[in-house]
Amino acid sequence: MEKRIFVAVVISIALLWTWAAIAPKLFPDLVKKPVPQQRAVSRSTASKSTATTTTAAAAKTAGAETPSEAAAVPAASMAPVEAKSEEQSRIDSPLFSAVFSNRGAELISFQLKQYSIDDPTSKQKFPVELVKARDPRRSDFPFAIESKNPRLDEQLNTALFALTQREENGVHVLEYRYSANGVSATKTFRIGNDYLFDFAVTLAPAVPYRIVIGPGIRTLAPDERDSQFIITGNGIVETNGKLKILAREKTDRISIINDVQFIGVEDNYFMSVLKPVKAGEGIIRRVEIKSSDPKAPARKELYAGLNATPDGAVVGQAFFGPKQTTVLEKFGLEAALQFGFFGFIAKFLLQVLIWINKFTKNYGFAIIVLTILIKVVLYPLQHKSIVSMKKMQKAQPKVESIKNKYRKSKTDPEQRQKMNVEMMKLYQQEGINPMGGCLPIVLQLPILWGFYGLLGRAIELRGAPFIWWIHDLSAKDPYYITPILMTITMFIQQAITPTSVDPAQKKMFMIMPLVFGWIFKEFPSGLVLYWFVQNILTIVQQMIMNRYWKDHPAELNKD
């Protein structure tokens, strides 16, 4: 039995160690140098005028409605239409602040007001910016046009569109029009108070083109770039009701996907996606962007886009926002919420944590309460496990007697078979279940993996503080205090747990806490907190049961 437990523990350690080792290599961070988030709005222009407008707070959002194909204004007129200077329009809602520029009629900033990042330079917090910072000479902000004609792309993505803006029932409408050199384009955006908004693009004459968002998604904060658990810049697409994740490093130069429900780019906590209403195929395109450092390798980043229909139109909805359960369910994007292996357990644990947090007002204490509940649920199995181990310890002299009887016949299969038969007969007589000690560990592994996926991807726990030095349960303990405490409790647990292993195996078991502590030191502090509390509860349970059996040995004599 002890060997099976040992194998189960070794396998779990190997899985955790392997994942921690290969994750940063498979999904390295896109950004190598910090770029202040507030600079993402800047563009290279000779003159600028800024028009700022604010949506009505009580209005019905455009994102809650399905855009009609009529929203695409026909781009039939070839009379010259162009603005004289660059103009930026800011739309503010309680959730976000969006900035559009008439240069290319593109989205140049989308800041989430309810989520922030820490700037170590200024020691201040800034809203999360979902439009990735880039070289100001580039003009490929979200909703840029790509075609087979580079000159046409440059013309449309640098042109100064004429802007007409208005409010319709609290929905802010931006209508951009441009016409020159035999081409006419119109881009219309309808933005309300929610993360989802409508867009419509038309181009005449109707040449093949696409609307793209990217490259990548947002500029990571310094602590996020240092984390091996932040996976950023992967493509995400739902097609025929199935979700696909396209790894940034492994995606082909261009991938064309039919029957797209939504397509975009994501990281652990946020995503930018397009939902087609009238459009052609979806595309994920990979590019390599050279670093300013000549010695640094080029970064691989992804664009996502929608091809135009034959009549030159792309109509749909865009979502720039958090991967929060209620938000994604509201807009039919719940498939994007993936928690990895044992994700169904992670989703259940998340719902329970959210419910508990209504009372605790602190996700750290919610994790502690949930750990206690899990312990209560698993108590009957753990009780049987300890009973089985106690019985095994009591029967150990008889086990050793049988082993000694066949010690000289280790290479004889027939004798080994007879020894196994005698062992099983002894177990049956003593009421021992050889697998009884393994079951609780096996059941703990899915829960551990569920917590692992939960704490690395649930935006509800992003930046959630606990107490004192733990300011983010989704990040590692900066002072490694909780991993040290977890390791100590594992040693105590090993010392008081009944065992029948030989001295060599016992020494190996005593090494396990050090191995776990070394691995867990880089894990999210919320996961370490769960394991630490689990250890404390097990120690208390073991101490009580040790005393109980001392006074009530009848438990061990049950068949």
What secondary structure does DSSP assign to 466-530, as a single string?
-STT---TTS--TT-HHHHHHHHHHHHHHHHS-----HHHHHHHHHHHHHHHHHHTTS-HHHHHH
| Concatenated DSSP letters of 91-144 | EE-SSEEEEEETBTTEEEEEEEEEEEEEETTTTEEEEEE-S----TT----TTE
Averaged pLDDT for residues 375-399: 74
> pLDDT band at residue 52, thresholds of 50, 70 and 90?
very low
Largest CA distance in the chain: 102
Strands, sheet with 282-289, edge to edge from the N-terminal-most edge strand: 144-147, 209-213, 299-307, 282-289, 254-257
User: What is the fold of 52-332?
Assistant: Beta-galactosidase; Chain A, domain 5 (2.70.98)
pLDDT exceeds 90 at position 10: no
For residue 44, what pLDDT is reported? 38
* Helix or strand holding residue 174 (H, E): strand 171-180
For residue 506, what pLDDT is reported? 64
pLDDT exceeds 90 at position 29: no
> pLDDT band at residue 5, thresholds of 50, 70 and 90?
very low
As given in the structure block, the two tokens for residue 398 are 């008889």
For residue 35, what pLDDT is reported? 36
Q: Which amino acid is at 166?
A: R
pLDDT exceeds 90 at position 428: no
Averaged pLDDT for residues 302-308: 95
What is the β-pairing status of strands 48-54 and 86-92?
parallel
This prediction's pTM: 0.76
> pLDDT band at residue 372, thresholds of 50, 70 and 90?
very high
Q: What percent of the chain has pLDDT over 90?
A: 38
As given in the structure block, the two tokens for residue 480 are 């490694």
pLDDT exceeds 80 at position 429: no
Map tokens 């399905």 to a residue: 66
For residue 435, what pLDDT is reported? 63
More confident residue, 210 or 342: 210
pLDDT exceeds 80 at position 277: yes
Enumerate the domain spans of the chain. 52-332, 347-395+432-557, 397-431
pLDDT exceeds 90 at position 278: yes
Phi and psi for 463 in degrees, rounded to 5?
75, 10
pLDDT exceeds 80 at position 223: no
For residue 300, what pLDDT is reported? 86
* Helix or strand holding residue 24 (H, E): helix 2-26
Rounded Cα–Cα distance for residues 255 and 159 (Å): 29
pLDDT exceeds 50 at position 318: yes
What number of CA atoms fall less than 13 Å from residue 121's CA on the CB side? 7
